[in-house]
Amino acid sequence: MPVPAAISPTVRQRRLRVELRKARDEASLTQEQVAERLDWSLSKVIRIESGAVNISTTDLRAMLAFYGVAEERINELVQLAKAARERTWWSGYKKILSQQYYDLIGYESAAGIIRQYENLIIPGLLQTQEYAQEYLKNDLPPEHSTDAEALVDVRMRRQEILEIDEGPKVFFVLDEAVVHRQIGGPGVMRDQLRHLIEMTNRSHITIEVVPFTAGANPGLRGSFTILEFPSAEDDDVLHLESPGFMRVTRDLQDAVVTYRERFERLREVSLKPEGTAVLLNRLADSL
């Protein structure tokens, strides 16, 4: 049984970024003033605050000292920065992952609650290996086809969070088209549906389907995931995805609220878990 991971370096990086912006605001300084005082480019300050790059211990101390932060607090944030650079299992795949996907894995690994709506394919956290192989084989452009096997490995490793005793509570809402679309043919899809049925029996996983009869609904705008964290100091994260597009929104809490409301509205028009299980069994038996 996999063991719970420590706080994800991705979450630590986010905490550091928030603390740096907070310290600058409390010092009533602009990014331009910081760049001028430390003899840095403005783009360097922006990239540090956005989390686009890691910050060295030397630069971090210089920045915080300029902000007038107490030495004890500086030492705490230096330790946080070091922890944010720790390697994880997904670090080994960084070359083949987009930054958005890389960040998503980090946030998933630390989440306490995950709410995901999908209107096109089975969510990665629920895919069988064969389904993932068939999907990625057809999704990747020719120049990246050699990455398919590694990306399937990533998808399977991500699912380890569902096997952890203290893992996240996960709510999935799927458009009915998702469970009808035969990726990989009848045999692969039948096994995939059986896997979904098995997952519905787990106490920390809820799967519901929005039936075709629901008509127009909030899910027609696209797939999304909301990740909540155990610590109150970590704001929720919104992940948006559509064909050819992926975005992780970390700072727009108004958007998070909007999508959480959208998710609950989707659940209101969904088949309940029992009805979803009946549908999945019927579809699996028909293949």
Q: What is the DSSP string of 51-105?
A: TSS---HHHHHHHHHHTT--HHHHHHHHHHHHHTT---GGGGGGGGS-HHHHHHH
Where exactly are the structural domains of the chain?
9-83, 93-286
pLDDT at 137: 87
Question: What pLDDT, on the 0 to 100 scale, is given for residue 4?
Answer: 41
Q: Mean pLDDT in the chain?
A: 90
| 240: pLDDT strictly greater than 80 | yes
Dihedral (C-alpha) 217, 223, 227, 233: value to the nearest 10 degrees? -80
Model confidence at 201: pLDDT above 50: yes
CA 106, 160, 226, 123 dihedral sign is positive
**Among 5-19, 36-50, 84-98, which is the least confidently predicted range?**
5-19
Banded model confidence at residue 250, pLDDT cuts 50, 70, 90: low
| Predicted structure pTM score | 0.86
Between 41-55, 158-172, 225-239, 241-255, the lowest mean confidence (pLDDT) is in 241-255
Q: Which residue, among 8, 1, 19, 4, has the nearest Cα to 233 in the 3D structure?
A: 19
**For residue 123, how many other CB atoms are within 10 A of its CB?**
20
pLDDT at 142 over 80: no
Asked if residue 210 lies in contact with residue 270, where contact means CB atoms within 8 angstroms, the answer is yes
Fold of 93-286: Endonuclease; Chain A (3.30.870)
**195-222: average pLDDT:** 94
Position 3 confidence tier, pLDDT thresholds 50, 70, 90: very low
Mean pLDDT, residues 137-149 taken together:
80
The mean pLDDT value for 150-158 works out to 96
Nearest 5 degrees, angle CA 181-CA 267-CA 116? 60
Amino acid making up residue 226: I
pLDDT band at 235 (very low <50, low <70, confident <90, very high): confident
pLDDT-derived band at 243, boundaries 50, 70, 90: low
Specify the pLDDT at position 249. Answer: 67
Tell me the pLDDT tens digit for each residue of 168-190: 999 999 999 999 999 999 999 99
Residue 31 pLDDT grade (very low, low, confident, very high; cuts 50, 70, 90): very high
CATH topology of domain 9-83: 434 Repressor (Amino-terminal Domain) (1.10.260)
